[in-house]
A and B are shown apart, each in its own frame.
Chain A
């Protein structure tokens, strides 16, 4: 279950496969981006962040890619596990701003 480029509100992925979640942002002044995971009834959980002077950053099983030219952000999850089922949000922030703006979430469902 991959979707490249296009933001989808839902994503169903087979356990063990890789997932790609996309996010488009509109503010060209944004210079800091965060991916959050939110489980039902819980607060958003920080996954990974990236600054605008980078185009790729890797964490444990996750990679964030930033394409400033087309204002696009993606989160790749390797070897998706059942515990990865959640809603994923991207958030953006300007350098001198104190507002973290969220994009539309993507609900990821992992099939056993």
Chain B
């Protein structure tokens, strides 16, 4: 079965540079979530999209933005990178079935290292 695909798997950037992370949700899933996970931390919610519209926002810095495209893939854009942005970034997708929540499946993540 198709899973959530994230690219790239690893990314090394310098301070003040820009990074773009991509997420391809499971086919037919209508909701995409982005999470940031630091070492030894639980995943922190950044932002979500439902049917290509931003649906909820968490602790996402103003330097970050995200969008979901017509083919449902999503991109997380990160500018003016700081050392503290080094983390694993996960994307997840789910399907709202008749208004009810269903299981959210996660991708393998992008490991971002800012040097």
Contacts and interface: CB of A to CB of B under 8 A. Distances in A.
Contacts of A103: 42
B101 A46 contact: no
Nearest to B88: A41
Contacts of A91: 104
A39 B106 CA distance: 13
Interface of A: 31-32, 34, 36, 41-46, 49, 51, 89, 91, 93, 95, 97-105
Nearest to B90: A43
Contact of A99 (B42, B56, B107): B56
A79 to B, nearest CB: 24
B45 A42 contact: no
Contacts of A95: 99-101
A92 B90 CA distance: 17
User: Nearest 6 pairs between A and B by C-beta?
Assistant: A98-B55, A43-B106, A98-B56, A32-B101, A98-B48, A102-B42
